Amino acid sequence: MFRKVVVGISGGVDSAVATLILKNKGFNVCALFMQNWDIKDEMGICTSDEDFKDASEVCKKLNVPIYYVNFVKEYWNEVFSYFLKEYESGYTPNPDILCNRFIKFNYFFHYAREYLHGDAIATGHYARTSFGSYLENYSDVKVKLLRPYDEMKDQTFFLSQVKQEALRHTMFPLGTLLKSEVKNIALQNGFQKVSRKKESMGICFIGNRNFQSFIAEYIEDKPGKFVNIENGETVGDHNGIHQWTIGQRAKIDGRSLPFFVARKDLDTNTIYVAERHNHSALQTELFFTDKPHWIYETPEELRRHDILSCRFTDQNMKEAVDCEVYEAERGLIVSLSREKRALAPGQFAVFYKNEECLGSARISSSGPSNFILHWLQRNNVVFIAHKLNIYKTTISGNCEINTENEYMQETKTNKYTTCKSSNNQIKENIQDNKISIVKLGIRHNC
């Protein structure tokens, strides 16, 4: 059924070994090298010409035909333009996830099928699917994305936005191998050069350059102030919100103690910073997302019970955190089992249930930091939600409380009530009426 396989080859060791394995399995293999960034316009490190040369040497040794395709225009329109727009809006995007969705598993996939007449594609990603490494379990049902055997090289995070059509026709030959085994296979088959190459890290079109210098080439500076989130003191100046992300150390002249970015206010062009890497202003237990992309389908647990218990991570290879997921009109509400540092809007929340990668959703905003929650406790303010209908309950004196979360501001169910009960009494009433407590993003003006 799947005779001709088009493997995506990059000039690295993983795609080289994937090509070798497919060839040895008896498939009719051809390789396709794609260029996504025009290095002629840059002085960066993305040496596409050298990579193509290495890939060609591998294919020559394996007697596998290699083809070249240019997706620079598609990459610019689908990935890089979005990347710039997100940063300009104060968000922190993940272009690697978008590259897989729009370029590798869309344009590449259709090119391989339509122009090279491939029955399937293959990549050197460390991932598995329910159809097997070589689609040996292919059927008419939907396919699931599964973690690889090598947990330290798991790349399902980056595949969490891939659509069914492409995933159903993709082989992952390295999904059941360890990285050490892949390198040994490369050495045993004379691929010394690619086995010695450094793995690509970070965003390709930036390479080893300073990020702030790179982004300044495309987005104009918009100077603003660094403000201490604890006391409102202006502690320095910055050249633009787009150059900073949540949790990043802020470089402020004349300050002996380090400050870290805790919040960005696009309206005032202010970056709020906090002292200490683990400051409570950087910790939160709740966030909101846009509409999710579920790889298989909406999880049955979520459909039946309006709540999904699973695990989530917002960074590849970072420890996943237990969470509860609720559906809302515009996306998801995610409540974490413990505090999470530096959740950056614009990043993707990727969800897992055991070995299955369920899918992902773009983080639209985070809930209040623990710094804000401590303030709420001191001022006797609570936030409650009836299922997914959000309410604000305030028991404070003369403080003005406003929701800062755009998600809440635009929600039709954003209703306000007051209550003078104690927190414990509120909790009991909530439990009796099957109402769950959630913590919403707020700002206070006292």
Which residues, other chains included, contact 19 with Cβ-Cβ below 8 Å and sequence gap of 6+? Answer: 7, 9, 29, 31, 58, 59, 62, 64, 122
Active site residue 399: no
DSSP conformational letter for 424:
H
DSSP conformational letter for 421:
S
**CA angle at residue 411 from 379 to 443, to 5 degrees?**
30
253 forms bridges with which residues in the sheet?
A: none
HSE (CB half, 13 Å, CA atoms) of 267?
3
- Residue 124: C-alpha distances to residues 11, 147, 188, 328 (Å): 11, 14, 18, 36
* Active-site position among 30, 59, 99, 323: 99
Strand duo 356-366 + 145-146: pairing? antiparallel
C-alpha 262/C-alpha 346 separation (Å) is 15
Are 159 and 125 in contact by the 8 Å Cβ rule? The answer is yes
Which residues, other chains included, contact 369 with Cβ-Cβ below 8 Å and sequence gap of 6+? Answer: 262, 263, 280, 281, 282, 283, 284
Are 240 and 90 in contact by the 8 Å Cβ rule? The answer is no
Q: Residue holding tokens 């590849």?
A: 316
Active site residue 204: yes
* Active-site position among 204, 310, 323, 357: 204
Which residues, other chains included, contact 230 with Cβ-Cβ below 8 Å and sequence gap of 6+? Answer: 274, 275, 281, 371
The amino acid occupying position 249 is R
Q: Which residues are catalytic?
A: 99, 204
